[in-house]
Structure formats: structure tokens, C-alpha cells
């Protein structure tokens, strides 16, 4: 029986994303020969160019770069461009900003139910806690990403019907709220 075309594409996307994450992990490991791998706060010394993979899988955090799409943040299969790369910058007090490398815009989120708490990118807003994020270490480079202002967690739809749109949700323990953060 021949597998359907969509299935083959998904398998290919998983293989490509896994290769990208392995390459990024190898580059990180080779940067400090002889040093033990660590996932402590020191391992996230900012600023650092990273990728965020939802549940460590084949979908990476990305964002539309046009106003007609409201600069919505989504997840996409691996692409070899800078839309999926983010500058992780320590702002002190255990909070960070995430700045999209391609657009220079910052990860932010609507705090309105009518807008489905959508995650977007925006220009830097000084002193705006909607652009501050707290990383909670699960080990193995896996984290939850919590918006400081709302206390809600970065999550994303797992369906094309919602364009794999990123949103914030109350903590629910789902794998969709766990992100693997590795060097880009």
C-alpha cells in the first residue's frame, strides 16, 4: 500500500527538523569542548540566537511578516531562513525577550479573549510586560514559556484549520506548551 502524499511530507518535515536540531545541538556542544552539557539558566546566557520547537517536534515558532496577517505568530515545518530564528535576551529577574531575527519585532500577545489571546510580533514596547517571557526549565533544553503580564503560557494550535497559530493559554500540562530551545 502506497502512503498518502501528506504523510510523506510530514515524515520529511520531521526528519529535516530533527537534523536541524541535531546540528544546532552539535554546534553548541562543540563550542565548549570538554564541558558537560547543561540546561541551566547559564546555558541560556543572552543574547543568543535560538529556535523554538513545539514539544521538541517538527514545528518551529515562526511569524507572518505582513500587517494584513497582524504579524501573527505560528508554527511551521523547518525552513532554512531567519523567520524561525529568535534572539533570546535576558532582561534580568529571570525574564527574557524574544526578538524575531528576520523582522526585528518582539514576541508579544493579545490579552483579549475576543482575539483568542493570539501571539503576535510587535516593535519594541519599552516597559511593556506583554513582551517579557519567563522560561521554566523542564530539563533537556525543554521549557515552558510564560508571558509575564498575563501569566499565560505559549501554546499553538495543532491544526491547519487555525493556521497552527500561536496563542497563550493557562497552564494545562499539555505537550503543546513545552518548547525545545536550542541554538540556531
Structural domains in the chain?
5-183 (2.80.10.50)
Q: Are 142 and 53 in contact (CB under 8 A)?
A: no
Q: How confident is the model at residue 45 (pLDDT cuts 50, 70, 90)?
A: low
pLDDT digit string (tens) for 107-148? Answer: 999 999 999 999 999 999 877 899 999 999 989 999 999 999
Q: Is the pLDDT of residue 25 over 70?
A: no
How far is 39 from 71, CA to CA, in rounded Å? 31
pLDDT digit string (tens) for 55-98? Answer: 878 899 999 888 877 789 999 999 989 999 999 999 998 899 99
User: If residue 63 lies in a helix (H) or strand (E), which one and from where to where?
Assistant: strand 59-63
Q: Are 59 and 164 in contact (CB under 8 A)?
A: yes
Cis peptide before 47 (omega within 30 of 0): yes
> pTM for the full model?
0.74
Provide the pLDDT for residue 112: 92
Pick the more confident residue, 108 or 7: 108
Amino acid at each position: 500500500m502506497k502512503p498518502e502524499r501528506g504523510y510523506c511530507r510530514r515524515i520529511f518535515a520531521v526528519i529535516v527538523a530533527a537534523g536541524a536540531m541535531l546540528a544546532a545541538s552539535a554546534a553548541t556542544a562543540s563550542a565548549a569542548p570538554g564541558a558537560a552539557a547543561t540546561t541551566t539558566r547559564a546555558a541560556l546566557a543572552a543574547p543568543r540566537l535560538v529556535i523554538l520547537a513545539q514539544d521538541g517536534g517538527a514545528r518551529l515558532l515562526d511569524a507572518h511578516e505582513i500587517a494584513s496577517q497582524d504579524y501573527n505568530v505560528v508554527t511551521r515545518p523547518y525552513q532554512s531562513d531567519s523567520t524561525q530564528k529568535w534572539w533570546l535576551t535576558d532582561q534580568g529577574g529571570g525574564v527574557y525577550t524574544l526578538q524575531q531575527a528576520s523582522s526585528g519585532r518582539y514576541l508579544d500577545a493579545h490579552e483579549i479573549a475576543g482575539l483568542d489571546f493570539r501571539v503576535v510580533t510587535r516593535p519594541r514596547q519599552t516597559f511593556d510586560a506583554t513582551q517579557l517571557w519567563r522560561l521554566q526549565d523542564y530539563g533537556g533544553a525543554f521549557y515552558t514559556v510564560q508571558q509575564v503580564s498575563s501569566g499565560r503560557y505559549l501554546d499553538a494550535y495543532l491544526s491547519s484549520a487555525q493556521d497552527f497559530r500561536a496563542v497563550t493559554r493557562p497552564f494545562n500540562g499539555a505537550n503543546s506548551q513545552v518548547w525545545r530551545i536550542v541554538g540556531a
